[in-house]
Amino acid sequence: MLGWKELAIKTQKVWNIIPENERPNTLIITDNYGEAGAINCYTKGKLTAYSSEASFALWLPENMEIRNIIRIGEASDSNVLNYFSHSIKADSITNIYAREYQTGIYIMYGANALFHKNFWLPYVKKCREYYKYF
């Protein structure tokens, strides 16, 4: 698919912005499983991207201590952003022929102590419950 290699390359570059000691606690999450699959494929195992869509929802990490998120897709709303110290748009897909044209690549830094309990675990549970029969 047009734009998927660009997505993977740009995600890898954004990943490299994250300090090396924070990478184990940085989650890459996408709007759809196609984006996650493209990142996983074209970075040749260097990155692991997750999605809350379809069977990818079953693989969302529950026990990961998330400090930062690289978000592929639309900007997160204030319900999510309130759990982070700050967020930036780091890049986007610029190939005008790509299906993912203008899809954003965001970094959300510094998840607070309430993120895991109050947002992440309920979100994972909801996604898994929805897709458990697919």
Quick: pLDDT tens for 87-98.
999 999 999 999
Please say if the pLDDT value at position 83 is more than 80. Answer: yes
pLDDT level of residue 86 (50, 70, 90 thresholds)? very high
115-26-108-96 Cα dihedral, nearest 10 degrees: -130
Which residue did the predictor score with more confidence, 83 or 133?
Answer: 83
| Residues with Cβ within 8 Å of residue 56, at least 6 apart in sequence | 33, 36, 50
pLDDT in tens, 13-31: 999 999 999 999 999 999 9
Task: Please compute the mean of the pLDDT values over residues 60-77 and round it to a whole number.
Answer: 95
Q: What distances in angstroms separate CA 65 from CA 22, 68, 117, 121, 129, one per listed residue? A: 10, 9, 11, 11, 22
Q: What is the predicted pLDDT for the residue at 133?
A: 75
Does 134 score more than 70 pLDDT? no
Distance, CA of 132 to CA of 35 (rounded, Å):
21
